[in-house]
Amino acid sequence: MFDIFVKVYEYFIFFYATALILSYMVLAVFSFISINRYKSYNTDIDDEELLNSELAPGISVIAPAYNEEKTIIINVKSLLTLNYPLFEVIIVNDGSKDDTLDLLIKEFDLVEAPFAYVEKIKSKPYKRTFKSQNPKYDILTVIDKENGGTKADAFNAGLNASVFPYYLNTDVDCILARNTLSKMIKPVLNSKTRVIAVGATLRMSNNCDIEEGVITRVRPPKALIPRFQELEYIRSYLLGKMGWELINAVPNVSGGLGMFDKEIAIKAGGYGADSHAEDMDMMTRMAVHMMNNKIPYKIGYIPLSCCWTEGPPNIQILGRQRTRWASGLFQMFSDHRKILFNPKYKNLGLITFPYVFIFEFLAPIIEAFGILFTIFLIFFGQVNWTFAPLILFYSYAFAVMISSIVIIWDQMTFKYYNTTREVLKLFVIALIEPFLYHPMIMFFSLKGYFSFITSRELAWGTMTRQGFEKDKDGNDKNSGDKGNDETKPGIFSKLKKNKESDTFEEIKP
Amino acid sequence: MSFVEWFLSFIYKIKTFPLIIQITIVLTLTFIVVTFSVLITVYVIRRKHNKVQKKLKDSLPKIEDLFNDVLFSDKKYSDEEVFNSFEDIVEEVNYESLDTGLDVLVDIKNDSNKESEKYPLIISALNIIEHIESKFDSRSNSRKMDAFQQSFVLGLNRFDSKILQYAYSKNKKIRTEARNSYLALSANDPYRFFDEIEGSLTKWDEIELMQYLQQQNKRGNLEGLGKWINYSKNTSLVVFLIKMVGYFKQRGIDEILIDKLVHEDAKVRAASIETLGELNLKETEQTLIDRYYTEPELCQIAIIKTIRKFNSGKSLKFLEQIFNDSNSTDMKKLIAEAIINYSYEGKMSFQNLKETLTGFDLQILKHIETPIIKFK
């Protein structure tokens, strides 16, 4: 019996690993084609054409803020420096308990304005709107609302206040490239099929030079944890999302930086206010809405890095972030479980969701089980020591190769780093990532799943900012979670609740 | 034991392993080779890039200074002087250095607010035409796209044959770009492909075409767009052209526009209504008011904008009425904005409304009249 179990397990792992390797290889080829296509048909002269055109559509930049006093001013200034003919910046103060709002009022000379706020999408109560008396900041709007507990709720309030047909969602801790809007709107303008969302690459801002809210020099982060993340982000965006873009199966557009069609976002019901994976949740809702109404749609991606965000500087903060993400992923599959393997949902049901479910959601569980099982086999002397290290090395060599390919794709797209040495630093990271970083991520993912099952509600804004001042010692960076962990009903009650309320738009027959 | 002997014994040993292990070994070796190849490639790419950057760091400001001097100073340069000065900076005039020079020239033309008649001097001194032709002939689509755009920015309309070659390309993106560009870059028959647009226009097509029409207008070659509006079966092209008639204030197609008010497509009707406003055809005001309640929101918005533009003083009652009738906040905002901007009487009416209305309607009026709310 035991032998049969071991055999079945061996075959399962063999096929799982083979499928994973093949999928990465296919994605590498897809992303190569997508990047080349993008580079061939998009030039910087396009930006000039767009900037000088009276037909450039308006864009609302929406950034929620919760207890962001350390970085709020520099980040809002960064958003105000964007180079685009028609845009507004909406900061949603989601009931911050610190001085975020006071700092904004003082710095930007804000006063309360009689704003006709319409709640097209439900969110926690809106309080008031501030506008600047200084004409220099006339495109800035600050919305003050009660804390909704999630970033999704704050985005909904921002959407309600926005006036333009497209919106860019971002975080206030993000520094955007000045040409972000012109680069990201291009796929929308250049497609005959309606493009409902566009994403771009994010990187770490931890070791970059920033002057007046503008990135002036890009470097890989000095600290190990953000540097691991830099590589992880590049791999996820350039290999994953750019690859999926080719077959219109992008699973999600990041909450840190994404441009969306406002009309579709509102018709799809906006962000799930209780969602912790608000980006993928929103993308799914929009895609389902388009399918319900039989409107062809596309989700675009550009290979350029347009956004720099402060990565968690230590394991504790990384842990909180990843636990929240994993919990959000679990919530996603719980809320939208009807899509999984459902042919009615086309690419979404048969490619995107199954891939994310099998290779992202299940991976930590399979890996953890594999580690425990290997320990068990070692204990009972069942390990073939001649071949086991070879198999391990095979997986390791593959992981390093994929990261190397991503580095060359990144160099092919745009050379963000000034020196060869900085690029080689990422190679070194690729060599040690499988041993140091990957097990941590696996652990935090499992912790996130556990949190979701045992229903520890994770509030948003758990990342403690260090700010961009170089000499900050960051004494408070371990100050703990800023949100309140509450105990909520368990998973079965959640599933039941979802079934009863059924807020998710289903596909029509 | 020599390496060869070790290698042969290794191969022999591998052959004794199970097939799956043999595959694993081969794949592992492949992964290692690919990783090292990538590492070397990155190193080579970076070295080349760093070298170019170093060179550009020195030469770019000098090229910029040279071109600015040629274009905007009173100093008279000959072709030979321009070429020699350029050669002194870049050391060797080749494809790369010419491309750098072309990029600089395009940037100056794009960014500079000052006009200069001396662009042709640099273009002829450096033989830019031939360089752009070689870009058109390149196998790289990216270079072709560059060539289309650079020719447009520099206003070079002498590439008819090159563009025609790509106007029937199998590559859809190149074909579309060539056909759009023909409008700006052809010296003989720029409107040749107007009737051959495939499917609906993208918003990007509209942005490009508008630019090209602006260029034709600048050259004094802008033709009347009415004939295409009348005959084209492509609705998206018709909508775009109707908007352009308004933008360029082309007269003489009033009848066509009035006919389009009963077109089956709401987008065509909306574009026609807005163009009537742009052309200030006030005699159509009552017709638009009569149509208001039977039209969809898209056309209603166009009617409100047009009436605001006419500013005839005759439709204030109508605006007040539709403000009261409307249930949509966005529409109410638009109407309130039209009322407050509708001459002196409009301002008075807005104040009266403020005194009579309460609740959210009053909030809308306050929103509209607050100057610090830039986008209403």
Vertex A262: Cα angle to A259 and A265 (nearest 5): 95
Looking at residue B242, its amino acid is I
Mean pLDDT of the region A444-471? 69
Nearest to B142 among A39, A191, A401 (CB): A39
A15 in B contact zone (CB under 8 Å):
no
From CA A261, how far away is CA A253, in angstroms rounded? Answer: 12
Do the beta carbons of residue A209 and residue A268 sit within 8 Å? no
A390 in B contact zone (CB under 8 Å):
yes
pLDDT score of B352: 92
Nearest to A163 among B110, B208, B375 (CB): B375
pLDDT score of B226: 87
Tokens standing for residue A231: 């590589």
A40 in B contact zone (CB under 8 Å):
yes
For A387-416, the pLDDT digits (tens) are 889 989 999 999 999 999 999 999 988 899
Nearest to A49 among B46, B208, B363 (CB): B208
Mean pLDDT of the region B63-67? 94
pLDDT band at A2 (very low <50, low <70, confident <90, very high): confident
B57 in A contact zone (CB under 8 Å):
no
The answer to whether residue A484 scores a pLDDT higher than 50 is no
Do the beta carbons of residue B365 and residue B354 sit within 8 Å? yes
Tokens standing for residue B126: 């450096």
Q: Strand, coil or helix: what is A142?
A: strand
pLDDT score of B13: 84
- Predicted ipTM? 0.88
pLDDT score of A437: 95
The answer to whether residue A499 scores a pLDDT higher than 60 is no
For A251-272, the pLDDT digits (tens) are 999 888 999 999 999 999 998 8
Check A114 against B374: CB less than 8 A apart: no
A193 in B contact zone (CB under 8 Å):
no
Q: Quote the pTM value.
A: 0.88
Do the beta carbons of residue B243 and residue B215 sit within 8 Å? no
Q: Strand, coil or helix: what is A131?
A: strand
Mean pLDDT of the region A224-248? 95
- Contacting residues of B for A192, CB less than 8 Å apart: 199-200, 202
Nearest to B31 among A55, A138, A397 (CB): A397
What residues pair up with A198 in beta bridges, in sequence order?
A259, A300
Q: How far is it between the farthest Cα atoms of chain A?
A: 78
The answer to whether residue A491 scores a pLDDT higher than 70 is no
The fold for domain B224-311 equals Leucine-rich Repeat Variant (1.25.10)
pLDDT score of B4: 87
A10 in B contact zone (CB under 8 Å):
no
| Residue count (chain B) | 376
Residue found by looking up tokens 């109404």 in the block: A293
pLDDT score of A286: 95
Q: For residue B85, give the nearest of B97, B96, B72 by alpha carbon.
A: B97
- Contacting residues of B for A398, CB less than 8 Å apart: 27, 31
pLDDT score of A502: 41
For A93-130, the pLDDT digits (tens) are 999 999 999 999 999 999 999 999 999 999 999 999 99
Question: What distance, in Å, lies between the first and last C-alpha atoms of chain B?
Answer: 84
The answer to whether residue A497 scores a pLDDT higher than 70 is no
Distant-in-sequence, close-in-space partners of A503: CB < 8 Å, separation ≥ 6: A269, A272
Vertex B55: Cα angle to B52 and B59 (nearest 5): 130
B44 in A contact zone (CB under 8 Å):
no
For B163-220, the pLDDT digits (tens) are 888 988 899 889 988 888 888 888 778 888 877 788 899 999 999 999 989 988 988 8
Check B38 against A407: CB less than 8 A apart: yes
Domain ranges of chain A: 1-509
For B9-61, the pLDDT digits (tens) are 888 888 888 888 898 899 999 999 999 999 999 999 999 998 888 888 889 99
CA distance A116 to chain B (A): 5
> Would you list the DSSP string of A35-86?
HHHHHHH--HHHHHHHHT-TTPPPEEEEEEESS-TTTHHHHHHHHHT---SS
CA distance A496 to chain B (A): 36
Check A45 against B106: CB less than 8 A apart: yes
B47 in A contact zone (CB under 8 Å):
yes
A408 in B contact zone (CB under 8 Å):
yes
From CA A50, how far away is CA B211, in angstroms rounded? Answer: 10
pLDDT score of A500: 43
From CA A210, how far away is CA A216, in angstroms rounded? Answer: 6
From CA B321, how far away is CA B188, in angstroms rounded? Answer: 54
Q: Write out residues 242-301 of B within 8 Å (CB-CB) of A.
A: 247
Nearest to B42 among A41, A390, A408 (CB): A408
pLDDT score of A459: 54
Tokens standing for residue A134: 């200084």
A384 in B contact zone (CB under 8 Å):
no
A382 in B contact zone (CB under 8 Å):
no
Report the share of chain B in percent with pLDDT over 90. Answer: 62
Could you count the other beta carbons within 10 Å of the beta carbon of residue B73? 11
- Contacting residues of B for A393, CB less than 8 Å apart: 28
The side-by-side arrangement of strands in the sheet containing A297-309 is A110-113, A126-132, A140-145, A87-94, A59-65, A166-170, A257-261, A194-204, A297-309, A174-176
For A62-80, the pLDDT digits (tens) are 999 999 998 899 889 989 9
Do the beta carbons of residue B226 and residue B246 sit within 8 Å? no
From CA B285, how far away is CA B326, in angstroms rounded? Answer: 20
From CA A96, how far away is CA A318, in angstroms rounded? Answer: 22
Nearest to B149 among A43, A57, A424 (CB): A43
- Interface test mutation site (partner A, options B41, B154, B203, B354, max chain A beta carbons within 10 A): B203
Check B149 against A45: CB less than 8 A apart: yes
For B97-109, the pLDDT digits (tens) are 999 999 999 999 8
CA distance A504 to chain B (A): 26
User: How much is the mean pLDDT over chain B?
Assistant: 91
Check B141 against A40: CB less than 8 A apart: yes
- Contacting residues of B for A419, CB less than 8 Å apart: 50
- Contacting residues of B for A400, CB less than 8 Å apart: 31, 35
pLDDT score of A194: 96
What residues pair up with A132 in beta bridges, in sequence order?
A110
- Interface test mutation site (partner A, options B17, B42, B327, B361, max chain A beta carbons within 10 A): B42
Chain A residue with minimum CA distance to B43: A420
The fold for domain A1-509 equals Spore Coat Polysaccharide Biosynthesis Protein SpsA; Chain A (3.90.550)
pLDDT score of A381: 87
Tokens standing for residue A169: 């969602």
For A310-358, the pLDDT digits (tens) are 889 999 999 999 999 999 999 999 989 999 999 999 899 999 999 999 9
Displacement of CA A428 from its chain's centroid (Å): 25
Mean pLDDT of the region A209-229? 91
Domain ranges of chain B: 224-311, 313-376
Burial (0-12, 13-18, 19+ Cβ within 10 Å), B230: middle
Do the beta carbons of residue A234 and residue A406 sit within 8 Å? yes
Check B333 against A116: CB less than 8 A apart: yes
pLDDT band at A457 (very low <50, low <70, confident <90, very high): low
pLDDT score of A487: 41
Tokens standing for residue B213: 């029409």
The answer to whether residue B248 scores a pLDDT higher than 60 is yes
- Interface test mutation site (partner A, options B19, B31, B166, B206, max chain A beta carbons within 10 A): B31
Looking at residue A365, its amino acid is I
For B275-326, the pLDDT digits (tens) are 999 999 999 999 999 999 999 999 999 999 999 999 988 899 999 999 999 9
pLDDT score of B249: 93
Displacement of CA A437 from its chain's centroid (Å): 19
Angstrom CA distances, A18 to A24, A363, A395, B319, stand at 10, 13, 10, 68
B222 in A contact zone (CB under 8 Å):
no
pLDDT band at A197 (very low <50, low <70, confident <90, very high): very high
Query: At what angle are helices B128-137 and B160-167 packed, to 10 degrees?
Result: 10
A503 in B contact zone (CB under 8 Å):
no
The answer to whether residue A426 scores a pLDDT higher than 60 is yes
For B107-155, the pLDDT digits (tens) are 998 887 778 888 999 999 999 999 999 999 999 999 999 999 899 888 8
pLDDT score of A458: 55
Report the share of chain A in percent with pLDDT over 90. Answer: 68
pLDDT score of B193: 84
